[in-house]
Amino acid sequence: MAGGRNSTAVMKFILLGFSEFPKLTVVLFSIFLGIYLMTVSWNLGLITLIRVDSHLHTPMYFFLSNLSLLDICYVSTIAPKMLSDFFKKQKSISFVGCTVQYFFFSSLGLTECCLLSAMAYDRYAAICNPLLYTAIMSPTLCVQMVAGSCVTGFFGSFIQLCALLQLHFCGPNVINHFFCDLPQLLILSCSDTFFFQIMTSVLTVIFGLTSVLVIMISYGYIVATILRITSAEGRSKAFNTCASHLTAVTLFFGSGICVYMYPNSGDSPSQNKLASVLYTVMIPMLNPLIYSLRNKEIKDALNRWKRRIFFCCY
């Protein structure tokens, strides 16, 4: 192949996707298309419900609506390309397209780390300082926390992108995955990736461990406060406000650890792909369900919305 920018010989990569399952192409395409459509529709529905119902105009639901928007963007960096590749003989992606896909995927993933930490702090303020909650979680602070999460996430990914563009790729150019992820790109690089791996480890500590530490400290105070509540009903109500967020945090960080801390732990590449499916496709679909199924306020808002539509029609 001809040389390109940054002395890069490889101008495109071949994504193998799920080509090891040729007989399941139609089935897998249908499943992933259904998951993608449900992810977009459920998250858009949750955003719309929070937007139109004044009872949900609180900091917790402000963060939740931003998480839903983030999940739509997050899955959309992967799913459309993956779906379009199912019926292509050559599942190729340009070098520029590959780096751009990874940049946005990484940016949105790091942003979600920060946003989940902000949501944990919001739950801490609501349960540990209920009388000062409105003053602490002011609209200005909420906007600043969301904006800060986005800026921090994109800045962290931009550092990775700059380092990634310094690497040389001279062949092979086959990625045994369904999208351009960092572990697979490093395997294909002809350059010494030691510095890049050190930098990635530092970013992992800054974003991953710092986010987990903030969440653990917040929930440490929350648990201590809940245990001091005398009534069982009060403890149950306080716990229910945190259960959904804890579930989402566990799924997001747990699957991320499986994929990035142990990228070569499976004997078969198919195992890594399946772990990545959970991380990139399933969690954005599950988040609106996790936050809605046991949430009385969202159920009440949905019932009000249904009644409003019924009266408008009749």
Separation between Cα atoms, residue 73 and residue 135, nearest integer Å = 31
Separation between Cα atoms, residue 208 and residue 109, nearest integer Å = 10
For residue 2, give both structure tokens: 């001809």
Average the pLDDT over each of 25-29, 81-85, 143-147, 166-170 and give the range with the smallest value.
166-170
Question: Does pLDDT of 39 surpass 80?
Answer: yes
Q: pLDDT per residue over 162-214, tens digit each?
A: 988 888 888 788 998 899 988 888 888 888 888 888 888 888 888 888 898 99
Which of 293 and 12 is assigned the larger pLDDT?
Answer: 12
Q: Are 71 and 43 in contact (CB under 8 A)?
A: yes
Comparing CA positions, the residue from 9, 7, 4 lying closest to residue 188 is 9
Which domains, from first to last, does the chain contain? 5-313 (1.20.1070.10)
Separation between Cα atoms, residue 113 and residue 252, nearest integer Å = 9
HSE (CB half, 13 Å, CA atoms) of 237?
10
Comparing CA positions, the residue from 78, 30, 77, 15 lying closest to residue 277 is 78
How do beta strands 92-94 and 12-15 pair?
antiparallel
Which of 10 and 128 is assigned the larger pLDDT?
Answer: 128
Q: Are 284 and 71 in contact (CB under 8 A)?
A: yes
Q: Are 52 and 312 in contact (CB under 8 A)?
A: no
Q: pTM here?
A: 0.89
Confidence of residue 314 (pLDDT cuts 50, 70, 90): low
Q: pLDDT per residue over 1-28, tens digit each?
A: 444 444 447 788 999 888 888 888 999 9
Q: pLDDT per residue over 251-264, tens digit each?
A: 888 887 777 666 55
- Look at residue 92 and give its three-state secondary structure: strand
